[in-house]
Structure 1
Amino acid sequence: MARTTLYLVRHGEQGPDSAGGLSPLGCEQADQLGKRLSAVSFSAIHHSPVIRAAQTAEIAGGHLARVSRHACDFVTDRTPAPSAERRGRYPDRWLPWLDGVPSDERDEDAVALRAAVDHFGVTGEQDRNELLITHNFVIGWFVRHVLDAPEWRWIGLNHANCAITIVRWDSDRPPTLVSFNDTGHL
């Protein structure tokens, strides 16, 4: 039975500057994250191209010997928003907020996020552990998918900076949520 285990981590706390880098606390969170995960044998670190995620990967990756890391568009920051045809699948109370999502952040009908789940949520010939350093809504989408929750249920799944969520795919059963928003290392 092959197994894929994804460690989903929200980037460290963002600093106050407009460049989007980590705050001093965010750097400390990333360091603690790396220490916590240092015993895990990862095949790769995939991080969002956004600077706060890249910095988190750099700091945490310093504790993960010889694990390759790279910017990955599958885990970039995006907000799933329904198309006109799917608006009825979302509670009315969320529609005005979703209508205000800027076009450059908008992932209509979660096309990109569905592709991310399809890309990472597969098993192969061997067990593998992968670290995805990403953003709150991306993690919410993965959790919603694993729990087979309604399409809109990613809303309200708030993830702390540098907390760890673990999801697992086994070759012979549906995906599993192993842990959510674990902050024990912080």
Structure 2
Amino acid sequence: MATRHLYVIRHGTADAFGQLTDIGQRQSELVAARLAALPVDAVWHSPLPRATRCAQIVGEHLPGVAVRKAAELIDHVPYVPTEIPPAWAGFFDGYDAAEAAAGARVADALIDRFARPAESETHEVLITHAYPVAWLVRHALDAPPVRWLGLNCGNTALTVIEYRDGLAPTLLLYNDMGHLPADLRKP
């Protein structure tokens, strides 16, 4: 039975302009070193600069592995609840129906493309943002859509999900920062 192994990573720490900081670069190097021991087939990344740079660094540690952009990995709000929890009211203030629909379309595309079994054994790295990581975890656990809220993900934290035909997804690891020294573990 073929298994799709997804190694999902939030990009390294970025500055206010969306560029990796020195800390983000170091975090990216450390997660890359961790991934170097795996049989990675492809690295996919968000088109945003912080994820693109993180993917370039990871790719430098994985000779011969293709590093490609995937629009589905863009930073987005995947789901806006009908009844917003009070703690999240400020976050969703100003979201309109068009923005919510656009986010839902990206979330659906993310799941359709990556959250399914592959035709052959694959090991893919996805370098994305906190919200898509949360959405993939919520989906793997078959949790209600609102449960993506509050699933926090650290910079270059590793999440591993496996997909096999006929079986529910398996969440093997979530938000693991074991490759980072304590001073580089940033939420």
Give the TM-score taking structure 1 as reference length: 0.88
Which of residues 74, 77, 89 is equivalent to 1:76?
74
1:165 corresponds to which residue?
Answer: 159
Report the secondary structure of 1:174's partner residue. Answer: coil
2:47 corresponds to which residue?
Answer: 49
Which of residues 46, 58, 64 is equivalent to 1:60?
58
- Taking the aligned partners of 2:96 and 2:24, their CA distance within structure 1 comes to 26
Distance 1:151 1:109, change over 3 A: farther
Give the TM-score taking structure 2 as reference length: 0.88
Which of residues 174, 177, 180 is equivalent to 2:168?
174
2:36 corresponds to which residue?
Answer: 38
Q: How many residue pairs end up in the alignment? A: 180
Q: Judge which range, 96-105 or 165-174, deviates more.
A: 96-105
1:33-88: CA deviation from partner (whole Å, max 9, x where unpaired):
11000011122111001000001001111111111011110101101243xxx614
1:117-173: CA deviation from partner (whole Å, max 9, x where unpaired):
111122233110110000000000000001111111111111000010001101131
* CA-CA distance at 1:96 after TM superposition: 4.7
- Taking the aligned partners of 2:63 and 2:19, their CA distance within structure 1 comes to 24
Report the secondary structure of 1:49's partner residue. Answer: coil
Q: How does 1:93-108 map to 2 (within 5 A)?
A: 93-101=87-95, 108=102
2:112 corresponds to which residue?
Answer: 118
2:138 corresponds to which residue?
Answer: 144
Is the 1:81–1:108 Cα contact (8 Å) retained in structure 2? no
The one-letter amino acid of 2:53's match is: Q
Identity score, percent: 37
Distance 1:128 1:100, change over 3 A: same
Q: CA RMSD in A?
A: 2.1
Is the 2:115–2:136 Cα contact (8 Å) retained in structure 1? no
2:9 corresponds to which residue?
Answer: 9
Is the 1:78–1:105 Cα contact (8 Å) retained in structure 2? no
* CA-CA distance at 1:94 after TM superposition: 3.1
Distance 1:49 1:148, change over 3 A: same
Say which structure is richer in strand: 1
Any gaps of 5 or more consecutive residues in structure 2? Answer: 181-187
Which of residues 82, 85, 89 is equivalent to 1:87?
82
